[in-house]
Amino acid sequence: MVKSSKGYRNRTRNLLSLSPRKRGMRGLSRLLQTYEPGQKVTVDLAANTVKGMPHRRYQGRVATIVEKRGRAYVISVQMGGMVKTLIARPEHLRLFTAAG
């Protein structure tokens, strides 16, 4: 019996896969987007960029920008009763819009 992998991207076949028309690099607007501290963002993992990718458990979560650190941003995410601090690049973030 082979032991199952416990890698960083395990069990992400459906979560990180893109439809054929959306494959390839995302547009430059995701990279050039700037965020200010206090802004709300949604963690939206870009499967084609591995650097600066948060863990898959944060996909779709709403976070708050804390500060900018180099090319990346420090964000805080509410998980359960705790506040988690993550470092994520802008290609894995998008502005939060309350739909509804």
Average pLDDT, integer, range 1-7: 89
Task: Write down all domains in the chain, each with its CATH number in brackets.
Answer: 25-95 (2.30.30.70)
Q: pTM, whole model, 2 decimals?
A: 0.87
pLDDT tens across 62-86, in order? 999 999 999 999 999 999 999 999 9
Average pLDDT, integer, range 26-46: 93
Q: What is the pLDDT of residue 74?
A: 98
Q: What is the pLDDT of residue 27?
A: 84
Asked whether 16 and 47 are in contact (CB, 8 A), the reply is yes
- 58, burial (CB in 10 Å: exposed 0-12, middle 13-18, buried 19+): buried
pLDDT band at 53 (very low <50, low <70, confident <90, very high): very high
